[in-house]
Structures are given as structure tokens and as C-alpha cells.
Amino acid sequence: MIAILNAYRFRARLPINRAVRVLVGLTAALLLALGWSAASGALGISPWGLLSGQADPLSVQVWWQLRLPRLLLGVAVGAMLAGSGAAMQGLFRNPLADPTLLGLASGAGLFVAVWIVLFQDSGAGSLYGQFAAGFLGALCVCLIVFGIAKRQGGGSAAVMTLLLAGLAINTLAGAGGGVLAFIASDEQLRQLSLWGMGTLTNALWRTTALALVLIAIALWLLMRSARELDLLQLGESTAHAAGLDAARLKRRVVVATSLGVGLCVALTGVIGFLGLLVPHCLRLWLGPGHRLLLPASMLGGALLLVVADTLARTVAAPAEIPVGLLTSLLGGPYFLYLLMRRNRAC
């Protein structure tokens, strides 16, 4: 047993210097992307002018009130979606687990849509009610999917069952969203339409500040689970013999993922495939060790979403493309490629 664990730890751990290079490289790329995003948009803003105090008042106001909270929200949402994708892939022990594919985002979206159409006009805690609706929706779906995975055990049959369950949940959520769109008012229908395509336009300080705190808590819970997720890859019985409390690990990952994904969906709508694309690519490059994979996925997710949002703001400026459309255009073909490669391997 000890020999097996030591061999796995040796295989799952990259050399320290390479791990440092990976994290430093991703951090540097993220900082460059943030600088590019800060200067880009319908109104060009000079970062040097902001730092030197020579920027005009309009640029300063746009930066502090609109662009900075949007950048911070993009970093937080990208890190949360990609980090939760990496954690779920480790928890389910298959590379296709993803908040979007397994229905978490759709479930959260359905609960938020119910809140917008049926309860938002009450005016009582609209923002916090939307956050709570997103969390409850993601939590309910996560528990359903987790129960299905537990009944199926492991193997390719369990992976296929999870994908089919996610498809069923996405279909039901889409049908429920259609019913809500049918009974919604014109204003609510427009809000649902723009929000459902994924956008960071709701990044205001009063929403972003609370989201940053709660997402940071969810990311911290996921980072605490890195070592246990590594042990879980050996199988639950082997991990239990090594002292792992698998039930507590699953509860922690489920709550953290539901909290983070629910908040992201409540604020930005459904931004698809980010939780699959980033951790899966990094897992192929860095290996299965979650102590490096989790922070690398968070940095990579933040980087990809910041770049995608910048393109969404600048490609058709002054109009804006929903960022969820761009990530789906990128992730959809890649997911098809993964399925084709798995079929050829079989």
C-alpha cells in the first residue's frame, strides 16, 4: 500500500521548478491580458495615463465604475468555472465532468430564471435572492448527478450515464426556461435573453464585491481538497485505507462547486465549456496532480475568460457580443474532438 501511494505521488507531482514556471507563466499571461483588456473597448484608455494621473475624467470614471469591476468579475468567474471543472473531474474520476455538461449551470440558470420571472418584482433582497436561487439550483443538480454516479460506480458506463443525465437535466432546464419565457413580461424576456447568453455587463461594484468574497471562499475550499483529490484517484477503498474521509471530501467539493457555479450563473448567465476546456487541456500537459492542476486551472480559466470578454467588447464595438457565445464556439468543437478521439480509442 505504501509503495503504491509513493509511486502515485511521484508520478502526479511535477518538478518544483517546472511547477513554478507554469504558475509564473500563467500569472504573467493573465497580467498581460488584464492590461490589454483595461486599454481596450469602445473607449480606449491608456494604462499609463491612469497610473500617472494624466487621464481625462471620463476615462477615470469609466475605468473605476465599469471596467475595473468587470475585469475583477471576469477573473473570479473564469477561475471559479475552470477550478470547479478540475475538481469535478477529479471527484468523478473522469475527464468529461464539467459544470455545464453535467447540468449544474443549467440548473442554476433555471432557478435564477424562476426568481427573475416570479419573485424579482417583490423588491425584497433582489440581488441576494438571485444569488441564493443560483446556489440552490446548482446544489440540487449536483446532488442528483452525484447520486447517479454513486449508483453506477466506475467505468465507461458511469461516464456515459453522467453525460446522459447532464443532457436530460439540460433539456429539462431548457424546457422550464421556455415556459418562463412564455409567461414573462417583455422586460423580463429581454433580461432573460441577454443573461442566458452569458455576459459580464452586470459587473457593478455592489454585485462584484460580494461575488468576489463568496467565490474566494469557494476557491479556498477547492484548494483545500487538492491532496484528497489526488488520493481519490487511486479508488475510494485504497484512499480510505490511506486515511481519506471520502464523504467529507465529496461534501466539501459539492458545496464549494454549487456555491461558486451558482453565483457565477446568477451574475453572468451560462458561460459554457470553460470548466471542461481549461482543466482538460492542462491535465494533458501537467498531469493528474491537483496541487498544481487546481491553481493552474484557476489561472487559465481567468486568462481565457478575460481574453474572450475583451474580444466580445472589441470585435463589434460599440456593440458587444455575449461572451458565452464565444466560449461555446470554442468549446463545442473541442468537445466533439474529445468524443471522436475516445471513440477511436475504443
For the record, the C-alpha cell of 153 comes out as: 460506480
Longest Cα–Cα distance in the chain: 66
- pLDDT of res. 33: 93
Q: What does CATH list as the number for 96-345?
A: 1.10.3470.10
Sequence-ordered list of residues with C-beta below 8 angstroms from that of 55, at least 6 positions apart, any chain: 45, 46, 49, 63
How do the pLDDT tens digits run along the chain, 346 residues long? 343 334 444 444 555 677 788 889 999 999 999 988 888 877 767 666 666 667 677 777 777 888 889 999 999 999 999 999 999 888 888 777 788 777 888 888 888 888 888 876 555 456 677 888 888 888 888 888 777 766 765 544 555 677 777 788 888 888 988 888 888 888 888 878 877 788 888 788 888 888 899 999 999 999 998 888 888 887 777 777 777 777 788 888 888 888 888 888 888 888 888 888 899 888 888 888 888 999 999 999 999 999 999 998 888 777 788 888 888 887 778 777 776 776 565 5
What is the C-alpha separation between 234 and 227, in angstroms, rounded? 12
Contact 85, 278 (CB under 8 A): yes
Give me the helix-helix angle, 246-268 and 126-152, nearest 10°. Answer: 140
For the chain, how many residues are written? 346
- pLDDT of res. 15: 58
